[in-house]
């Protein structure tokens, strides 16, 4: 429980199961009480909601009576500014309050937590009076609460949200906010003083720059379709090599293999998910003696992380090779998407396989679940990739929605035809396959083929032409892809040279 006195000071309180029957009938949320003989305990709880030295415990000696003359604040909001949250000035260890205008919301998304639990969430973009935007994630019952409000108030134009006892999360230097389970309270467009004043100020500032506003029903984003089809640049794997700036791109490809020479998990900081490394710490002896045994602890490698010694959890980092009709690229799957694909946490697989083998590089058989499967990937081209012209890109998100993948594959505009002129050979076409288009190499085959008529002028796409040649010949290619090292990205001239150097060995008829 969270208790607040007449001065607005908040403190955690606990009623243990053995004493619950005595107090459960009288204790109600948003009611006022006078408490006699509570016990003060040191705040050693794992989840500390407030930066207080003590917590209250109600036991059998405690007496609770209703109070009707409480003169303190109703809610006791203590708002943190978006600027202080994003600058790291608000601790992620404790709960905080914030207020913002709901600028955009995203559709509910089913997901799996890092511990293997099936869950769901929705994301929102909040904006404060200074114009600073902050991403908020609402989980489960809080997601339901927000969705219910939106469904019943689709025409409402101005939505202001207060999150009381929210949680701050630092993920690799990007700070977002979310609800904390069981304790967070949402105030959605309620007519309290704080929301009324905020809305009045926000609308007054917004009216200076725009005269129109979208209703909450129009502010939603179908996250996957917009993100993959409209809001992010599409690229083939070959075209990634020509990118000269830091950006996100969408690629479509089939997972061909998992790198067997790379470790597929790591110990990550529970606060920011960055790698946690072991370090020796020398605790201070109460007697001032230097003869103290060192203690091994885990230290977060993220310099921006506010915690020195951290609790760590096993997280996925799976290196995979992905192929489309233009090439192969090395990508890295991280914890969120791997858990989503497998429905299992990294710790579950570590416990399973390390009990059988001490080889930490043993590849779990569960990874076969995404081998030879096609996905749309949103990948991050980082400064390191651009400066060093190497691949090895991080996957920010992936989807296997057939409708999205089909629409993305229509965007394939691979290599100009002139780059394939040297490869054009006499071609045959099936009478049942006269339609030219990008086809899956696994299913394309030439049966009952007949020579093309002389006046046949249409040409196959580069993807189909390349596949047809490889299907008709044994391909001896001296250029192999290393599964253990980052690969230097070839220039157009390198690619042309490789194409010319490929030896096509005709298959012998039996």
Of the candidates 113, 184, 118, 117, which has an alpha carbon nearest to the alpha carbon of residue 146? 184
Q: Are residues 237 and 212 both part of a single domain? A: no
Residue 293 belongs to some domain of the structure: no
Q: Are residues 148 and 100 both part of a single domain? A: yes
388: alpha, beta or left? (left if phi > 0; alpha if psi -120 to 50): alpha
Residue 292 belongs to some domain of the structure: no
DSSP tag of 87: T
Residue 364 belongs to some domain of the structure: yes
Q: Are residues 355 and 267 both part of a single domain? A: yes
Among 16, 34, 66, where does a domain finish? 66
pLDDT at 100: 96
Q: Are residues 204 and 311 both part of a single domain? A: no
Residue 74 belongs to some domain of the structure: no
**Residue 282, pLDDT above cutoff 90:** no
For residue range 215-229, what is the model confidence (pLDDT) as tens digits? 676 666 556 888 898
Q: Tokens 């969430």 map to which residue?
A: 121
Beta strands in 180-229, from DSSP E residues, in sequence order: 185-188, 220-221
Residue 76 belongs to some domain of the structure: no
Q: Are residues 350 and 262 both part of a single domain? A: yes
Residue 302 belongs to some domain of the structure: no
Both tokens of 191, joined, read 């007519």
pLDDT at 29: 86
Q: What is the CATH number of the domain that holds 90?
A: 2.40.50.140
Q: Are residues 122 and 48 both part of a single domain? A: no
pLDDT at 357: 67
Q: Are residues 91 and 178 both part of a single domain? A: yes
DSSP tag of 204: H
Q: Are residues 248 and 380 both part of a single domain? A: yes
**Residue 477, pLDDT above cutoff 50:** no
Task: Point out the least confidently predicted range of 28-37, 266-275, 440-449.
Answer: 440-449
pLDDT at 257: 95
Q: Are residues 165 and 47 both part of a single domain? A: no
Give whole-number Cα distances, 107 to 13, 122, 198, in Å: 36, 6, 26
**Burial class of residue 280, CB neighbours in 10 A (0-12, 13-18, 19+):** exposed
Structural domain boundaries, residue 176: 82-221
Among 166, 195, 221, where does a domain finish? 221
Residue 294 belongs to some domain of the structure: no
The segment with the largest mean pLDDT, out of 20-34, 135-149, 350-364, is: 135-149
Angstrom distance (rounded) from CA 239 to CA 473: 26
Of the candidates 97, 107, 179, 90, which has an alpha carbon nearest to the alpha carbon of residue 138? 179
Q: Are residues 329 and 255 both part of a single domain? A: yes
pTM of the model: 0.52
Mean pLDDT computed over 274-301: 72
> Into how many domains does the chain fold?
4
pLDDT at 485: 45
Q: Are residues 86 and 54 both part of a single domain? A: no
H helices, E strands: number in the chain? 12, 27
Check the CA dihedral 388-390-394-397 and report its sign: positive
Give buried/exposed letters for 481-508 (b at 16+ CB in 10 A, else e). bebeeebebbeeeebeeebeeeeeeeee
pLDDT at 435: 38
Which has more pLDDT, 418 or 94? 94
Task: Point out the least confidently predicted range of 53-57, 110-114, 484-488.
Answer: 484-488
Q: Are residues 373 and 393 both part of a single domain? A: yes
Residue 200 belongs to some domain of the structure: yes
Among 364, 385, 409, where does a domain finish? 409
């Amino acid at each position: 429980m969270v208790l607040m006195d007449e001065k607005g000071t908040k403190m955690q309180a606990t009623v243990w199961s053995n004493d619950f029957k005595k107090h459960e009938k009288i204790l109600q949320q948003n009611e006022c009480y006078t408490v006699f003989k509570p016990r003060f305990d040191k705040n050693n709880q794992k989840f500390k909601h407030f930066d207080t030295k003590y917590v209250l415990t109600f036991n059998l000696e405690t007496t609770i009576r209703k109070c009707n003359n409480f003169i303190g604040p109703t809610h006791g909001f203590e708002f943190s500014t978006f600027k202080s949250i994003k600058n790291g000035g608000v601790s992620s260890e404790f709960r905080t309050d914030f207020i913002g205008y709901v600028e955009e919301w995203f559709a509910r998304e089913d997901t799996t937590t890092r511990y293997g639990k099936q869950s769901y969430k929705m994301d929102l973009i909040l904006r404060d009076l200074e114009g600073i935007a902050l991403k908020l994630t609402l989980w489960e019952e809080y997601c339901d609460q927000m969705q219910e409000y939106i469904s019943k108030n689709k025409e409402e134009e101005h939505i202001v949200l207060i999150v009381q006892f929210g949680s701050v999360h630092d993920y690799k230097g990007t700070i977002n906010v979310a609800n904390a389970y069981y304790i967070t309270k949402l105030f959605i467009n309620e007519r309290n003083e704080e929301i009324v004043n905020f809305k009045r100020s926000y609308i007054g500032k917004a009216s200076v720059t725009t005269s129109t506003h979208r209703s909450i029903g129009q502010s939603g984003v179908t996250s996957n379709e917009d993100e993959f089809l409209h809001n992010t640049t599409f690229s083939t794997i070959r075209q990634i090599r020509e990118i000269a700036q830091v950006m996100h791109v969408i690629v479509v490809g089939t997972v061909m293999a998992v790198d067997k020479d790379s470790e597929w998990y790591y110990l990550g900081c529970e606060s920011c998910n960055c790698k946690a490394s072991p370090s020796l710490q020398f605790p201070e002896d109460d007697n001032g003696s230097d003869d103290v045994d060192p203690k091994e602890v885990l230290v977060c490698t993220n310099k921006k992380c506010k915690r020195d010694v951290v609790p760590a959890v096993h997280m996925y980092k799976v290196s995979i090779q992905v192929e489309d009709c233009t090439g192969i690229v090395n990508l890295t799957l991280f914890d969120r998407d791997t858990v989503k694909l497998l429905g299992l946490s990294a710790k579950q697989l570590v416990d399973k396989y390390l009990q059988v083998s001490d080889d930490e590089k043993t590849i779990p058989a569960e990874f076969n679940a995404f081998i030879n499967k096609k996905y749309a990937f949103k990948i991050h081209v980082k400064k390191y990739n651009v400066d060093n012209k190497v691949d090895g890109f991080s996957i920010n998100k992936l989807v296997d929605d057939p409708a999205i993948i089909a629409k993305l594959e229509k965007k394939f505009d691979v290599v100009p035809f002139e780059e394939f002129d040297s490869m054009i050979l006499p071609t045959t076409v099936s009478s049942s396959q006269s339609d030219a288009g990008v086809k899956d190499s696994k299913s394309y085959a030439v049966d009952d083929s007949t020579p093309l008529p002389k006046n046949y002028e249409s040409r196959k796409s580069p993807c189909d032409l390349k596949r047809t040649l490889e299907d008709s010949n044994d391909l001896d290619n001296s250029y192999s892809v290393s599964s253990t090292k980052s690969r230097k990205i070839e220039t157009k001239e390198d690619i042309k040279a490789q194409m010319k150097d490929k030896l096509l060995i005709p298959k012998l008829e039996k």
